[in-house]
Amino acid sequence: MSSAAGACRHLPLAGVRVVEFTHMVMGPTCGMILADLGAEVIKVEPPGGDKTRQLPGLGIGFFRSFNRNKLSVVLDLHTPAGLADARALVASADVMLENFRPGLMAGLGLDHASLAASHPRLISVSHKGFLPGPYERRTALDEVVQMMGGLSYMTGPEGRPLRAGTSVNDIMGGMFGAIGVLAALRERERSGRGQEIQSALFENCVFLSAQHMQQFLMTGEPPPPMPSRVSAWSVYDVFTLAGGEQLFVAATSDRQFLTLCELLARPDLAHDPALATNAQRVAVRPELLRRLGDSFATWGKAELAARLEAAGLPHAPITRPDELVHDPHLLASGGLVPMATDDGHSTQVVLLPLLLDGHRPGVRLPLARAGEHTAAVLGALRATPPA
């Protein structure tokens, strides 16, 4: 157990030490969740630092987004001294995380099978592309498993599979890894023993597609991609407004449809007996949406959104990620907060989407520089007599 987290005893994982051998998104997400919940998370980086720190393009935000509240130790695992320090760190830990290619940790003697005999209380988490089976040796990326796991097919229009606009499986894999850690810690209280946990990208994606798989099993009909789906509701779409602005609007009940028609000054639609029920409206949905679209096209977004809000009708702007930086709800609810960065500047980061006893788990430590805590962590380790 660690004493470094003692200042945060009000957090549920205070006193839990996690040693993290990870990069990119999946493993770091798991470690960040545990760190946000109070664990002391020690991120082991190679000489020069985790290469994720230097990714360009869409990867530029990975390191800052998924590595807060961690200490950084640089070790060269390909040297006897570095490997010995890594093993000593693991021996001091409650939890070890890794997300490297199959066989790498075993080759270093840092896999669960190699460690369990001498460290029976250790909880190990391997973040992989696939759980054990025919695919387990394949190289996997988020986009690869989105194609394999049904998500890209369901997201894009017919004949144009489209990946989701963020690393959904990497992030979800880290979440399931963290859930596994919480369960294993609870089990260890009972049994006194740790265990190995595996979380995998492909299985994550299949879980996301489970409702569509069940739809097929119940109907015998392959579900169409979402852009081609038969909607359960007649008004549930993106409408183009005056000036080319867009707004998603929904009316999922008969009462909501009448309210929308009143708001848009369309008594012809409200009192048409052929549109009295949702089922009737769904049957003529394309024509209904065209007629509603004529009315929506006369409204500006700000005025219409205010009227929809007052009427209690579901609606949403089509928001870009850069616009979320200024979102009033996100700011007021404390979901976006400052964090000191490893280059001495500051940025805004998105917190975990949960409250613990009314409080958001927040930023406790600046983003670590590569190897910033090597001397302190290893010095304390060497000064502590073996258990």
Whole-angstrom distance, CA of residue 224 vs CA of residue 234: 17
DSSP label at 65? H
Structure tokens at 378: 């290893």
Q: Which helix (H) or strand (E) holds 292?
A: helix 285-296
Please state, in angstroms and as integers, the Cα–Cα distance from residue 259 to each residue in 31, 216, 266, 313, 370, following that order: 47, 35, 10, 8, 57
Rounded Cα distance, 1 and 13, in Å: 11
Query: Catalytic site residues?
Result: 170
3-class secondary-structure state, position 58: helix
- Measured CA to CA, the distance from residue 176 to residue 128 in angstroms comes to 12
How many helices (H) and strands (E) would you count in the chain? 18, 11
Token duo for residue 355: 């409250």
356: Cβ contacts below 8 Å, ≥ 6 apart: 11, 12, 37
